[in-house]
Structure 1
Amino acid sequence: MKNIITLFAITVLFSCKNSAQNNEKQQEVINAKPIEVPLKNGKAKAYFASGCFWCVEAVYESIKGVDEVINGYSGGHTKHPTYESSNTGRTGHAEAVEVIYDPTVVSFSTLVDAYFASQNPTQVNGQGPDKGSQYRSIIFYQNDTQKKIILEKKEALSKKLDAKIAAEVYPFQKFWIAEDYHQDYERLHPNNPYIRNVSIPRLKRFKAKFPKELLKGTH
């Protein structure tokens, strides 16, 4: 009886998450016109979701031309998402990062290359041990040029791997900054078990395969 109840609960949970991702409000986000973020002091911003933002933050901060990475939430249909609310899978949001970079040093195209090089591109709804719609992979575009770059690289990778690439492609709408304690987490908490066992190994795998001339000595 306990097993039946557990199975029922799991079924309801996944049904809630799936309906949250496919409801009308979420479709409005997917079909919206992208918002372009203007340059500020010569710096551009790009947005990516790829599993736990602690991991993604460390990856992008290791790339030359990236000034700062901010953790937050994006891609959903609710306002002012929090860590707790996004973890329900009902807000439509995924853990995401805002990458602030110098476009004269590193291109958006290179940032997309880094995105695919730093993850398992075929894993659906998560990365590594982090599973759920809040950990799904999304690349956000701000204009048609960025969208074209993303789709071409996604198609090329799909052919190379002979597999379906899990990353969704969304028009950028809004980035909600995460709680203060999530910022610079890998740098501030190097001995945290998750950082030691998941984030740092993921960063090392990325740095081992990405062109050395595009990486900083430290991050």
Structure 2
Amino acid sequence: MERHRKAYLGGGCFWCLEAIFRNLKGVEKVVSGYSGGSVPGTPTYREVSSGKTGHKEIIALTFDPEIISFESLLFVFFSSHNPNTSQAQGFGYGSQYTSVIFYDDESQELSANAVIAELSPRFSIPILTLVRRFERFFPAEDYHQNYYEENKNDAYCTSIIEPQLKKIQKLYTDQLK
């Protein structure tokens, strides 16, 4: 088995997902960025936020599958946001906030679809998370990286990110660093 793998996940604001996944055993690196758009060049936050580029706010994470499986990452992912809304998460609205799993090989695609099938009966409405082939990742600007750790007193961090972190910490205690 390969020592390091990549996963590309979007579930609303990348600051939230980044803060959550940085705390998991086996996750070695998390980078906030953009993927899935169709405009040329490197997108900026301002362009992606307009909703006109087609890009999604996502995280690219590097993980050790001997410590945490792709499937385990997906269970945390589905616990960390609302997969039943289209183009919205919390107070964020627009195509950039779409729930999406970008897979980079057939095994990830199969795993993503299997986890969705397993979780679907637990929801009263359909899971709307997209499963798409990964094409390209663009890291977000530096001020977006490690946002929670650098801005813990920010109102967004205390009112949005911290409650999500506490929820994940309660659900996945055994998987935390």
Task: Tell me if TM exceeds 0.5.
Answer: yes
Please name the residue that 1:141 is paired with. 103
Per the TM alignment, residue 123 of structure 1 is displaced from its structure 2 partner at its CA by 2.0
Please name the residue that 1:17 is paired with. none
* Structure 2 residues not aligned, in runs of 5+: none
C-alpha separation in 1, matches of 2:67 and 2:122: 28
Please name the residue that 2:59 is paired with. 97
Task: State the Cα RMSD in Å.
Answer: 1.2
Please name the residue that 2:71 is paired with. 109
Contact map agreement 2:11 2:83 (CA 8 A) in 1: no
The higher radius of gyration belongs to 1
Please name the residue that 1:75 is paired with. 36
Instruction: Please give the TM-score of this superposition, normalised by the length of structure 2.
Output: 0.94
Alpha-carbon deviations, 1:161-183, whole Å to 9, x = none?
13210211110000000000000
Alpha-carbon deviations, 1:44-81, whole Å to 9, x = none?
21100011111000111111011111000011112311
Question: How many aligned residue pairs are there?
Answer: 175
Give 1:59's aligned amino acid: I
Instruction: Please give the TM-score of this superposition, normalised by the length of structure 1.
Output: 0.77
Structure 1 runs (4+) deviating above 6 angstroms are none
User: Which structure has greater helix proportion?
Assistant: 1
C-alpha separation in 2, matches of 1:93 and 1:65: 27
**Quick one: which of 105, 110, 113 aligns to 1:151?**
113
Q: Is 1:191 the counterpart of 2:153 in the alignment?
A: yes
Please name the residue that 1:215 is paired with. 176
Please name the residue that 2:17 is paired with. 56
Identity %: 38
Please name the residue that 1:176 is paired with. 138
Secondary structure of 1:105's counterpart equals coil
Give 1:63's aligned amino acid: L
Give 1:64's aligned amino acid: K
C-alpha separation in 2, matches of 1:166 and 1:92: 17
C-alpha separation in 2, matches of 1:202 and 1:74: 23
Secondary structure of 1:202's counterpart equals helix
C-alpha separation in 2, matches of 1:213 and 1:146: 23
